[in-house]
Structures are given as structure tokens and as C-alpha cells.
């Protein structure tokens, strides 16, 4: 095959046709003829490539019109709306159920109340935290969400008075476990779900409505907190006061060494809470 100066391609005379069969191994003469006459799609202008092995668009359209299309093999493409894309960007879809569960806890514990925004007061903003719980095979078994306050914007003396809370001393924990082992007591360990949501607040704290869960009837209103939220500076203190009040009302008394140790005596039994 050679190419002339005018970009016209020709096939040499008496070109042999290659074959793998010995019975057909003869040279068949071919008359010299332009490739353009054999295949009109072989060459067009210098900047356009046409696949000589592809069917023409007209024939493909004609053949496809006579074929039956199975709807089960058709794929549906979903283009999300801008607001849906923004929602999935800020709040993953797999966490929406856990977010609603968190807000149901707020409603059950009467954490806040929706009120008009007060003047000369800047409400605090909220933030969602997401965490997945895995099993021993690292498979996600639960999606957890927690709504927290950006408490770093609070000012001591203005937004809160006391932020400290007593913490159990390591010596008291060791004495507690040693005494339980000596008396053959059974030790139970438990975790209070959403513990800080039980602590009552003494100060007036206002927060904005969380994004995605804004009241459509009162979009400009804010929440006034009745109970503490996580990352609120006074939340640990409020939780300790609530727990102490509950235990003292149920005939416990504080230990003399550690204020986080509560004891209740029965006739022949003793209950120790650390």
C-alpha cells in the first residue's frame, strides 16, 4: 500500500491475499482501484476520522426501531435537586434516622422550647456529630448522631457561672473495687444515654434551630434550653447536680472522702454507687 501526494491511496497490482489454508494459497490478481471506490467511509477530510467498521447512523436507527426494548434492562438516571444535594452534602442520608432519634430524645426529655428571638442576645449555634458503631468484623451496626452546642462562644460570668464538676478520684475507685471484691459484691457498670440532657439549667441559654429541622411556621424563632446540651460549659455541673439530687432523694448519702461516692444501707445489704 502506498500513499500519493494527493492523499489518494491505491492497492498495488497483483497483490496476494494472505490465507492460512494450503488449498487456497494462490495469488489472485486484483485490479488496481482506489480505496475510495471500495469503501466511501475510508477517507474524508484530513481532520475527521470515520470508523469504517461501524454501521451508519441511519442503518443503526432503522434497526433499533424494529427491536423490542426490555424495560427491565433500562437504567433510570436520577438527578437530585440542588436542595437535596445540599442536604446530602451537609447531612449524610444514612445518618438521618439517627438524627431524628436524637431529636426525639430532646422532645421526650423536654430539653427546649421554641420562643421568639430575644433582643440584644446572640443565640448559640448547633452542630451535628456523626459516629458509626462497628462489630468485631468492623461492620457498621448502628449510625449515631449527636447534636452539640458550640460552647466556645460562651463567656464566663455572662453566659454561665459554674462550669466545674467533681470527678471520681482513682484512689476512690480502687477502694471501691477492693471492698466489692472483699465482700464478694456483684459490680454493675452502666452508661446513661444522653446523660447531659437530664441536667437542668439555671441560666437562660438560647440556640438557633438546627439546619434541616427548622419549624416552617416559625423559621425565625429560637430554642430556649431547659436542659443542658453537650459541649455546653455548664453541662457537666448541671448533670452532677441532677444526679446528686436524685440519689439523695432516694436515701443515699455522700461519702466523706469522695463526693462522687454515694452509699445506701439496708438491713443486711449495702449499695454503693461510684
The strand pair at 262-265 and 253-254 is best described as antiparallel
Query: Has residue 37 got a pLDDT over 60?
Result: no
Instruction: Measure CA of the first residue to CA of the last residue in the chain; give whole Å.
Output: 94
Backbone angles phi, psi at 47, to 5 degrees: -105, 5
| Residue 88 in grid coordinates | 446530602
Position 74 in a domain: no
Confidence of residue 2 (pLDDT cuts 50, 70, 90): very low
Please give the average per-residue pLDDT across 177-185, as a whole number. 89
Position 72 in a domain: no
| Residue 89 in grid coordinates | 452534602
| Domain housing 39 | 1-67
Predicted confidence at residue 22, as pLDDT, reads 43
Confidence of residue 116 (pLDDT cuts 50, 70, 90): very high
| Residue 175 in grid coordinates | 477502694
Q: Are residues 24 and 143 in the same domain?
A: no
Confidence of residue 157 (pLDDT cuts 50, 70, 90): confident
Predicted confidence at residue 221, as pLDDT, reads 93
Position 254 in a domain: yes
Q: Are residues 144 and 265 in the same domain?
A: yes
Q: How many domains does the chain have?
A: 2
Question: Which residue from 245, 249, 252 is spatially nearest to 271, judged by alpha carbons?
Answer: 252
Q: Are residues 49 and 159 in the same domain?
A: no
| Residue 66 in grid coordinates | 424494529
Q: Are residues 151 and 211 in the same domain?
A: yes
| String of DSSP letters for 220-248 | T-EEEESB--TT-TTHHHHHHHHHHHHHH
Q: Are residues 258 and 143 in the same domain?
A: yes
Q: Are residues 108 and 177 in the same domain?
A: yes
Please give the average per-residue pLDDT across 4-28, as a whole number. 45
Report how far apart, in Å, the C-alpha atoms of 8 and of each of 32, 37, 177, 270 are: 13, 11, 97, 106
| Residue 202 in grid coordinates | 439555671
Q: Are residues 111 and 164 in the same domain?
A: yes
Position 75 in a domain: no
pLDDT tens string 205-239: 999 999 888 898 999 999 999 999 998 999 988 98
Q: What is the dihedral of CA 39, 40, 46, 47, to 10 degrees?
A: -100
Confidence of residue 89 (pLDDT cuts 50, 70, 90): low
Amino acid at each position: 500500500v502506498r500513499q500519493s501526494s494527493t492523499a489518494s491511496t491505491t492497492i498495488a497490482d497483483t497483490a496476494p491475499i494472505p490465507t492460512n489454508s494450503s488449498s487456497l494459497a494462490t495469488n489472485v490478481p486484483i485490479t488496481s482501484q482506489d480505496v475510495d471506490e471500495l469503501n466511501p467511509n475510508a477517507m474524508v477530510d484530513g481532520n475527521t476520522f470515520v470508523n469504517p467498521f461501524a454501521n451508519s447512523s441511519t442503518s443503526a436507527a432503522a434497526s433499533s426501531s424494529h427491536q423490542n426494548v426490555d424495560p427491565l434492562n433500562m437504567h433510570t438516571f436520577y438527578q437530585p435537586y440542588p436542595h437535596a444535594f445540599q442536604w446530602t452534602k451537609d447531612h449524610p442520608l444514612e445518618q438521618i434516622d439517627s438524627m431524628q432519634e436524637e431529636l426525639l430524645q430532646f422532645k421526650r426529655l423536654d430539653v427546649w422550647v421554641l420562643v421568639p428571638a430575644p433582643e440584644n442576645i446572640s443565640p448559640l449555634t448547633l452542630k451535628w456529630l456523626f459516629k458509626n458503631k462497628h462489630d468485631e468484623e468492623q461492620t457498621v451496626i448502628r449510625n449515631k448522631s449527636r447534636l452539640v452546642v458550640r460552647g466556645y462562644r460562651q463567656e464566663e460570668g455572662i453566659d454561665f457561672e459554674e462550669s466545674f464538676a467533681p470527678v471520681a478520684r482513682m484512689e476512690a475507685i480502687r477502694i471501691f473495687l477492693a471492698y466489692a471484691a472483699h465482700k464478694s459484691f456483684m459490680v454493675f457498670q452502666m452508661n446513661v444515654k444522653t446523660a447531659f440532657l437530664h441536667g437542668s439549667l439555671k441560666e437562660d441559654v438560647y440556640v438557633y434551630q438546627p439546619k434541616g429541622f427548622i419549624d416552617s411556621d416559625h423559621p425565625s424563632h429560637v430554642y430556649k434550653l431547659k436542659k443542658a446540651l453537650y459541649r455546653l460549659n455548664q453541662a457537666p455541673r448541671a448533670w452532677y447536680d441532677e444526679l446528686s439530687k436524685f440519689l439523695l432523694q432516694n436515701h443515699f448519702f455522700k461519702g466523706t472522702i469522695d463526693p462522687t461516692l454515694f452509699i445506701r444501707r439496708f438491713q443486711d445489704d449495702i449499695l454503693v454507687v461510684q
